[in-house]
Structure 1
Amino acid sequence: MAFGQAKKPPTASAANRVQTANGLLEGGTAASGIREFKGVPFAAPPVGDLRWREPQPVKSWMGIRQARKFGPQAMQLPIYSDMNFRSDGVSEDCLYLNVWTPAKSAQEKLPVLVYFYGGGFIAGDGSEPRYDGESMARRGIVAVTVNYRLGIFGFLAHPELSTESLHKASGNYGFLDQSAALRWVRQNIAAFGGDPKKVTIAGESAGSMSVSAQMASPLSKNLFARAIGESGSMLNTSFGPLPLAEAEKNGSAFAASLGATSLAALRALPAQQLLEAASKPGVPRFAPTIDGYFFTQSPTATFVAGQQARVPLLVGWNSQEMSAPFLLGKEPATPENLRQVVQKLYGDRANEVLKLYPAATAQEAEPSATDLAGDRFIAYSTWKWADMHGQTGGQPVYRYLYARPRPAMTPAMGDAPAAKGATHSAEIEYALGNLATNKVYAWTPDDYKVSETMQIYFANFIKTSNPNGEGLPTWPAAKAGRDAQVLRIDVTTRAEAEQNRARYLLLDQLFAK
């Protein structure tokens, strides 16, 4: 280049190229200036002989691989009406992640957020707009969403699978996918301007359970520096994990129901046939397992022993995680109906339960049934995680209660009555700054205020391990083993004393029996 001649700026395509360990990627740039890389493979396609195997390394490629559209979503049926995908169809070939980065170079060493989607381990996808990483990236964070195998593809255990495994384990493939993605992040995120030593893992519902699982697993606990859980954990939950022998028995029975007398026969079946068969009524849910490899013992035992990842934790749940019919079925929420259900569930301890979930009048019965339903569904297990980590983790635990009900629906979406409290998953768009992606609700200035507050807390925690910052109400860390301070997030956000510890201590006793 001649002396004095201006250096040409890089072309848009060159500016969007990143060299990973497996090859060169080319993404795109949003109008905000955030660079986006979608559909990035972090493991080999788990198809054919790799169905129900630990994720295998990605094959490297020559030339430039385009990373401008989301990869396929994991095998699943359309189960949840609030899920909205931007992905390229449904496929077993689903092990892709997405990266949003504000960094202009690989030298910036920005904090990293890795987010796992919810969906009961049977649905969900990293392309959902509510998880979009652009808003967090605009706050100086490299954001990543990760796909992982679901349902029968993610959690089938079978004696032949355990026999063929080097670790004599089976099941937990979805969790192993997440762990593989974290290793990919450790190896590659610096190229996107991220700091592999400042990774926060986060998720909601099954994604939150996944965060607690990764904290408990010896395979993952050194791959991240902090953790965020929104409504869900693997401690003391009805979602498992099952003992391996029991999970293998369920897998064998399922295979027999399809006439598949060998693992080879199971692997030869079309993915859609397996998916539909696994979704039929009466088929046991394919739950996580205590496989001796990903989980060496129950997650609760790991946390009790203080053997989990010893990282700062931001964790909480919503004020109305479930509705009364979850507990009462089609029966109305009357004092008599609630007493009958509690009696059936808790026997000679029923009166103790009813003292904490009172139902002397019709006015009390409905909110008490709602509270007990939400606690049994997910609030208690999340409390258990927060409480145990506070006692044995040696790191701060910041607890929240999310209490902002969603507003009314937009006229185009109908006129369903607004919930009295914050329902399960209602906080996601607020926490990640993605209200505008959800066209179902008529968001108000108050909603955007709540979102701004919650997202700043989250962003501060991702950056510094402490959610507090200038202009925010003080969020004290919870004190271990006694009434904790909890941040109540609403239009007026404030710290308050824990309200329901007695409920959770009783449920803790009852769960242990």
Structure 2
Amino acid sequence: MRKTLFLTLILWTTLFIANAQSACDTTFVRVKTANGTIEGFELMGIRFFRGVPYAQPPVGDLRWKEPQPLQSWSGVKKTIQFGPRAMQLPVFSDMRFRSNGMSEDCLYLNIWTPAKNEGERYPVLVYFYGGGFIAGDGSEYRYDGESMARKGIVTVTVNYRLGIFGFFNHPELTKESAHKASGNYGLLDQSAALRWVKENIEQFGGDPSRITIAGESAGSYSVSAQMATPLSRDMLAGAICESGSLLGFRQMPTLNEAESRGVEFARKIGKKNLKELRSLSSDELLQISGRRDLPSFGVVVDGYFLPENPIAIFEKGEQAHVPLLVGWNSMEGHYSAVLGKAEPTIANFEKAIREKYPDFADGLLRVYRPASDKEVPIVASEFAGDMFISFGTWNLSDMHASTVAKPVYRYYFTHPRPGYKGQPQNVDPLYRGASHSAEIEYVLGNLPVNDVYDFQSEDYLVSSLAQTFFANFILTGNPNGAGVPDWNPVRAGKPAEVMILDTKSCLQTEQHRDRYLYLRSIQNSFNP
């Protein structure tokens, strides 16, 4: 009897191991793209393609040129490893890369698809990473596309040029350009990636007519830019903006202003012309660009990618006419950005506002009005967040709802991210909320791949709800569906009903529309 039982246990164990091994076996799969055949792999029902090139490497004479069409290849290109990340300094400690090093040769994308053949038609999510246009990568764990793919969405992350490599302006660059423009190369990379997706995603089981773009922070700025540019807006079926847009307070320079910065940059590093600038190695240029005495470069109204200021484009309703899911977090800023080391009291808050914004202090103190010292950390943190990123996100939401006949769904993410594993919680005793970028792993369903934070059951509850909303929106253009609270779209010119994303999610009428209307009224003359 014992022997029979023992043999039975061995048999069941053997079968279990065999089945588990079978379930985890990796199968290599090939797809024929417009430029050649690539080989990825399939694991547990999802197909992975990593480091797929979408444009020529922007190196040598192609440094500071718009992305050039990809050259075709013969044979099979292996796409099982993430490509190199864009050149960047180590500025953010929370970025965990899986990329194959760092290089100017960085124009690659990654695809996760549930499709088994090219005849299937799943909706497509194209996600742009954040990092202030100076850091980030599509290989980061928090942007992993497998979880969304298991929701029936072909998911794509895109690498694009950053910093001095992605946004440098110079008169010689403008002169050599067929479009008489320079800069915005990182945004042009994104547009080129979208064209690649549009042309090739059918081969991966994606529907090229159902492309939703999304991003957080600089990625969200990027989404608003792709909505605004005539180069991309006709390729989009939907947009998701998480904390950020080009419709905020950041003043975008004109092309002439940006070119002057480029001339100053070259002069200060002792380079006479564009040829000498291009002769610098990528490492040399990267290190030089980190000097604090040199001008920096960002998004510019170049007359080509952005024919005019995005605010004007959205005011006229010339942006992409697509459904929009948009929102921000409850603690995008901290009161110390306003008060410095001063105690959070009404007197100190008023003093700081009057010193920093003397021309607008009365108006600001009218709409940012703490009732007691106890409320100062909350109000001052909200003000800091609005100045940083929340106002621009609100402005995008409100303007899009007013100028296009497509629904806008606004959220407010309030769930605090837990502390690091094995470390005591570092909780601000005066105010604690959802910090900038805290929502990413929740909405993309990536808590399990982030082993840094001490996520608990309530975090997985919030993630399940938030990801369901986002997936529904990508699938149908509407976040509503079975098992989630009803979410009403924004009404043009009216206080919005906002979905609070937390352990107890519900619709709530926006509480501070007066603040944002006032900030809009002074936007053109107010420089925070």
TM-score, normalized by length of structure 2? 0.92
The residue number in structure 2 matching 1:4 is: none
1:364 to partner: Cα distance: 2.4
Corresponding residue for residue 67 of structure 2: 55
Given the superposition, is the C-alpha separation of residues 241 and 84 from structure 1 closer, same or farther in structure 2, using an over 3 Å criterion? same
Q: Distance in 1 between matches of 2:485 and 2:261?
A: 49
2:347 equivalent in structure 1: 336
What amino acid maps onto 1:145 in structure 2? T
Would you say the 8 A contact 1:54–1:173 is kept in 2? yes
Is contact 1:339-1:359 (8 Å) kept?
no
Alignment of 1:65-214 (within 5 A): 65-214=77-226
Aligned to 1:323: 334
Paired position in structure 2 for 1:397: 408
Residue number among 373, 385, 391 corresponding to 2:396 in the alignment = 385
Contact in 2 for aligned 1:338/1:359 (Cα 8 Å): no
* One-letter code aligned to 1:296: P
- CA distance in structure 1 between the aligned counterparts of 2:445 and 2:398, rounded to whole angstroms: 28
Aligned partner of 1:280 among 284, 291, 313: 291
Aligned-partner SS, 2:350:
helix
Q: Measure how far apart 1:270 and its partner are.
A: 1.2
Deviates more, 1:243-252 or 1:401-410: 401-410
1:415: how far off? 4.0
Distance 1:366 1:14, change over 3 A: closer
Show the 5 A alignment for 1:365-444. 365-411=376-422, 413=423, 415-417=425-427, 420-444=432-456
- The one-letter code of the counterpart of 1:448 is Y
Q: Distance in 1 between matches of 2:367 and 2:374?
A: 15
Does the CA-based 8 Å contact 1:316-1:400 persist in structure 2?
A: yes
8 Å CA contact 1:468–1:475 kept in 2: the answer is: yes
Which residue of structure 2 lines up, in the alignment, with residue 252 of structure 1?
263
Whether 1:26 and 2:26 are equivalent positions in the alignment is no
**Secondary structure at 1:16 match in 2:** strand
In 2 relative to 1, CA 173–337 (structure 1 residues): closer, same or farther, beyond 3 Å? same
SS at match of 2:384: helix
Give SS of 2:522's match: helix
Pairwise CA RMSD: 1.4
Deviation at 1:331, TM superposition (A): 3.5
Taking structure 1 as the reference length, the TM-score comes to 0.95
Deviations 1:183-212 (A, max 9, x none): 000110000000000000000000000000
The 3 A distance-change label for structure 1 pair 14 and 505 is same
Contact 1:322 1:370 in 2 (8 A): yes
Distance 1:167 1:174 in 2: 16
Contact 2:264 2:295 in 1 (8 A): no
CA distance in 1, matches of 2:426, 2:454: 12
Q: How far is the alpha carbon of 1:15 from its aligned partner?
A: 5.7
Equivalent residue letter for 2:447: L
Aligned residue among 272, 285, 297 for 2:308: 297
Taking the aligned partners of 2:344 and 2:290, their CA distance within structure 1 comes to 30
Write the distance in 2 (CA, Å) between the matches of 1:167 and 1:51.
16
Give the Cα–Cα distance (whole angstroms) in 2 for the partners of residues 327 and 247 of structure 1: 29
CA deviation after TM superposition for structure 1 residue 361, in Å: 3.8
Which amino acid is 1:364 matched to? E
Pick from 228, 234, 259 the counterpart of residue 216 of structure 1. 228
> What letter matches 2:403 in structure 1?
T
What is the DSSP-based 3-state SS (H/G/I as helix, E as strand, rest coil) of the residue aligned with 1:326?
Answer: helix
Residue 3 of structure 1 is matched in structure 2 by none
Question: Residues 326-366 of structure 1: CA distance to partner in whole angstroms, max 9, x if unpaired?
Answer: 22334343333322221133324312212322246431222
CA contact (8 A) 1:226 1:312 kept: yes
Alpha-carbon distance between aligned partners in 2 of 1:360 and 1:467, rounded to the nearest angstrom: 36
Q: Matches of 1:76 and 1:127 in 2, distance apart?
A: 14
Q: Which amino acid aligns with 2:480?
A: N
Give the letter aligned to residue 244 of structure 2: G
1:399 match: secondary structure: strand
For 1:500 and 1:394, the matched residues in 2 are separated by 25
Distance 1:39 1:414, change over 3 A: farther
Query: What's the offset of the Cα at 1:276?
Result: 1.6
Question: Which amino acid is 2:395 matched to?
Answer: K
Deviations 1:395-436 (A, max 9, x none): 10000001111123211x554337711100000000000011
Please tell me whether Structure 1 or Structure 2 has the larger radius of gyration of its CA atoms: 2
2:223 and 2:242 mapped to 1: Cα distance?
9
1:226 and 1:465 in contact (8 A); partners too: yes
| CA separation of 1:14 and 1:64: change in aligned 2, threshold 3 A | farther
2:235 counterpart SS class: coil
Report SS of the residue matched to 1:235. coil
Report the residue type matching 1:263 in the other structure.
Answer: L
SS in 1 for 2:523: helix
Residues 1:17 and 2:30 aligned together:
yes
Alpha-carbon separation, structure 2, partners of 1:237 and 1:425: 20
- Tell me, in whole angstroms, the C-alpha distance in 1 between the residues paired with 2:490 and 2:405: 12
Indicate the larger mover: 104-113 or 282-291: 282-291
Name the CA distance, whole Å, in 1 between partners of 2:263 and 2:394: 35
Q: Is it true that 1:352 corresponds to 2:357 in the alignment?
A: no
Cα distance, 1:499 vs. partner?
A: 1.1
Q: Distance in 2 between matches of 1:327 and 1:18?
A: 53
Quote the Cα distance in structure 2 between the aligned partners of 1:56 and 1:328.
Answer: 48
Q: Matched residues in 2 for 1:24 and 1:74: separation?
A: 24
Distance 1:261 1:457 in 2: 53
Separation in structure 1 between the aligned mates of residue 377 and residue 248 of structure 2, nearest angstrom: 25
Contact 1:17–1:26 (Cα < 8 Å) also in 2 = yes
Deviation at 1:242, TM superposition (A): 1.4
- 2:248·2:389 contact (CA, 8 Å) conserved in 1? no
Which structure 1 residue ranges, 5 or more long, are not aligned? 1-11
Is the CA contact (8 Å cut-off) linking 1:97 and 1:144 kept in structure 2?
A: yes
**How many angstroms apart in 1 are the aligned matches of 2:492 and 2:432?**
31
Partners of 1:254 and 1:329 lie apart in 2 by 32
Between 1:45-54 and 1:12-21, the stretch displaced more is 12-21
State the alpha-carbon separation in 1 of the partners of residues 146 and 249 from structure 2: 33
Deviation at 1:22, TM superposition (A): 0.7
1:308 corresponds to which letter in structure 2?
Answer: Q
Q: Sort the Cα spacing of 1:273 and 1:328 in 2 relative to 1 into closer, same or farther, 3 A.
A: farther
